[in-house]
Amino acid sequence: MKQLTLFLLSLTIWSVAYPQKFSGLALTPPMGWNSWNHFACDGLNEKVIMEMADAMVESGMRDAGYQYIVLDDCWQAYRDEQGNIVADPKKFPSGMKALADYIHSRGLKFGLYSCAGRKTCQERPGSHRYEMQDARTYASWGVDYLKYDWCHHVGLDPVEQYTRMRDALYAAGRPVVFSICEWGWSQPWLWAGDVGHLWRTTLDITDCWSCRKYFGVLSGWTRILDRQVGLERYAGPDRWNDPDMLEVGNDGLTVNESRAHFSMWCMLAAPLMAGNDLRKMTPEIRAILTNKEVIAIDQDSLGRQGFKAVDEGDFEIWIKHLSGDDLAVCFLNRSQREISKTIQWAALNILTTYLMRDLWKHADLEEMQPEFSVRVPPRDVVLLRLNKK
């Protein structure tokens, strides 16, 4: 008994003296929903968030693997006299603990947003100098996921600030997935693996194929895709590149564009945070977000990010290594016309020893031959899984 007490005591001292991130919380890329891409600051309130949790369950998304309901910027109102962060009492009259309880009761997890700077990007109170106090508050509310932004950071060092919040979360004792949102400015893939579970690699996504808005502050998903090339070596279980939340189902993308976007995020082993209104999904969009065979590419336990193997301008081939020596191969057509190609598997260093399955058609294909002919519709993909025989 005495030995056990000593052992537990030394464990406690060790964890206080050597804080770390909570390991093992994101062995595959986190999946969920986040309020920002669809709602931004407007129209958010506890009713909407509860309805979103209900929709996540009823649409089959929870069963497909989505877990987190994350409330992004604009939930905060002010700090009280003791410095405690206070949720907007008009929008969230029942408080954050009640909201978290509801989300948990639906078999889901609860995420919140804050910022490492002095204020958030929407000018709400940031967590700078309040890290420990905020981490304790989040733990008392039942927060399972923290997205931590980088606005109003003048004079601050990202490694120091994000590490400070990591240590505060750890000390508060409730396991929290820590999502670093520093937009890739300090190459977080080089330092963030020991600090958080995922890190943004770029500025913000918007719902278009390839547009740029506000001088490049917002980009369409193909522009963001281009900036992931070369980052594949930094990703793995518990440490993911985050090319930003999904725009699948939002107004600016057609169904085929949404399908291509979702496929490529799965090829990237990206966190899959839906950003649409889950209450109003069309059957086509729901079928995209809940395609379990495609999600399995993203969630593969090997945890390898896919890479671009062929770049012919409008036509690209991406490959992702999967567990059990399986492969995913994605043919991406970036043009506005159909593309037909015949490829040689040998040119991709792929043997003909696999069973081929089309993951959007949900169909097994004919026996693998040295050559493969593929027709990719405009702004769409053909996504194959090659299963080792």
* CB of 44 or CB of 356, closer to ligand GLA: 44
In which residue are the tokens 């954050």 written?
96
**What is the spatial distance between Cα 67 and Cα 56, in angstroms, rounded to a whole number?**
9
Which is nearer to ligand GLA, 206 or 333 (by Cβ)?
Answer: 206
Residues near 270 by beta carbon (within 8 Å), at least 6 away in sequence: 29, 240, 241, 242, 243, 298
Q: Which stretch binds ligand GLA (CB under 6 A): 103-111, 115-123, 332-340, 371-379?
A: 115-123
Stretch that binds ligand GLA, among 43-51, 113-121, 219-227, 314-322 (CB under 6 A): 113-121
Give dist(CA 279, CA 250) in Å, integer.
Answer: 12
For residue 205, the minimal CB distance to ligand GLA (Å) is: 8
Tell me: does residue 149 bind ligand GLA (CB under 6 A). yes
Measured from the CB atom, is 100 or 181 closer to ligand GLA? 181
Report the residue number, 203 or 281, with the smaller CB distance to ligand GLA.
Answer: 203
Burial pattern 259-269, b for ≥16 Cβ within 10 A else e, equals bbbbbbbbbbb
- Which listed range, 91-99, 118-126, 270-278, 323-331, lies at the site for ligand GLA (CB under 6 A)? 118-126
Residue from 33, 36, 141, 331 binding ligand GLA (CB under 6 A): 36
Residue 265's contacts (CB-CB under 8 Å, 6 or more residues apart) are 243, 246, 272, 298
Number of residues binding to ligand GLA, judged by CB under 6 A: 10
Task: Examine the residue annotation and report whether 204 is marked as an active-site residue of this protein.
Answer: yes
Query: Which range binds ligand GLA by CB under 6 A, 120-128, 185-193, 246-254, 343-351?
Result: 120-128
Query: Which one is catalytic: 204, 244, 298, 300?
Result: 204
Among 56, 99, 112, 181, binds ligand GLA (CB under 6 A): 181
- Decide: 137 and 85 in contact? Cβ < 8 Å: yes
**129, 168 in Cβ contact below 8 A?**
no
Show the beta-strand stretches assigned E in 284-353: 307-311, 315-321, 327-333, 339-344
Using CB under 6 A as the binding rule, whether residue 199 contacts ligand GLA is answered as no
Under the criterion CB under 6 A, does residue 122 sit at the interface with ligand GLA? yes
Helices 46-58 & 95-105, crossing angle to 10 degrees? 10
Q: Which residues are catalytic?
A: 149, 204
Site residues (vs ligand GLA, CB under 6 A): 36, 72-73, 113, 120-122, 149, 181, 204
